[in-house]
Amino acid sequence: MPKLNANGIDIAYETYGEASGSTIVMIQGLGMPLIAWPPPIIDRLTAAGYHVIALDNRDTGLSETFHDAGVPNIAWQWFRFRIGLKPRVLYGLRDMAQDVASLMARLDVRDAHVVGVSMGGMIGQRLAIDHGCRVSSLVSIMSTTGNPRLPRPEPEVLKKLLISSPGFEVDFNYLEERLRNMYARGMTRGGIARQMLAIGADGDRRAELRKLDIPT
């Protein structure tokens, strides 16, 4: 598994496809290592001629972790966030976006189509805001702008989201293997907590996002 020192920390990554193709940078969500991307998605992108770079975010997978910082008190820090105070964080989404920009620079990738899911979508948004020349297009999947007034999902909706659709057959052996591999690669309570606080501390990005002029 290749690693590079980017933004002062070690970032693990994988590349797929021919380097001569247009590059897609794929950023995973909260606590999720890069192997959470379904292989058929990667295969379809490389078959279409794209050069794909996927990375483990800091505090996830084989990238650098910050276990010595301990597990933050999420309840207290999120209470601060909900009453309008910024939570105290070890790092923020801006740092995580800088990780991606620095990794791209180390890999001699001038710009890329950026695809982020959930927290990865937020990192992609912050990357486009802070490092616009690096982002030729942005795909932000099931993510958020940080608008604190967005409604929370109803409990019944959350329940449904935890149950797979009867319209799609599930191979539970395959699913179990993927989950075991993700946990083995590195998914920790402390890392997830620190990433959650990074999300809360970044605040509302709507005003900055309105200034973007890229396909999104």
Q: Give me the CATH number covering residue 132.
A: 3.40.50.1820
Q: Give the residue, 68 or 1, on which the prediction is more confident.
A: 68
Residue 86 has pLDDT above 80, yes or no: no
Q: What does the longest C-alpha to C-alpha distance in the chain come to?
A: 49
Position 38 scores a pLDDT of 93
Q: Give the residue, 172 or 33, on which the prediction is more confident.
A: 33
Residue 15 has pLDDT above 90, yes or no: yes
Q: Does residue 17 form part of some domain? A: yes
Q: Does residue 86 form part of some domain? A: yes
Domain interval for residue 131: 3-209
Q: Does residue 51 form part of some domain? A: yes
HEC string for 31-64: CCCHHHCCHHHHHHHHHCCCEEEEECCCCCCCCC
Cα distances (Å, whole numbers) of residue 125 to 37, 59, 61, 132, 179: 19, 20, 22, 10, 27
Residue 95 has pLDDT above 90, yes or no: yes
Residue 54 has pLDDT above 80, yes or no: yes
Q: Does residue 216 form part of some domain? A: no
Arithmetic mean of pLDDT over the chain: 93
Residue 60 has pLDDT above 90, yes or no: yes
Q: What percent of the chain has pLDDT over 70?
A: 100
Q: How many domains does the chain have?
A: 1
Joined tokens for residue 145: 């702008």
- pTM value is 0.92
C-alpha dihedral, 194 to 185 to 179 to 141, nearest 10°: 50
What is the per-residue pLDDT across 117-156, written as a single tens digit (0 to 9) for each?
999 999 999 999 999 999 999 999 999 999 988 888 888 8
Q: Does residue 215 form part of some domain? A: no
Position 128 scores a pLDDT of 98
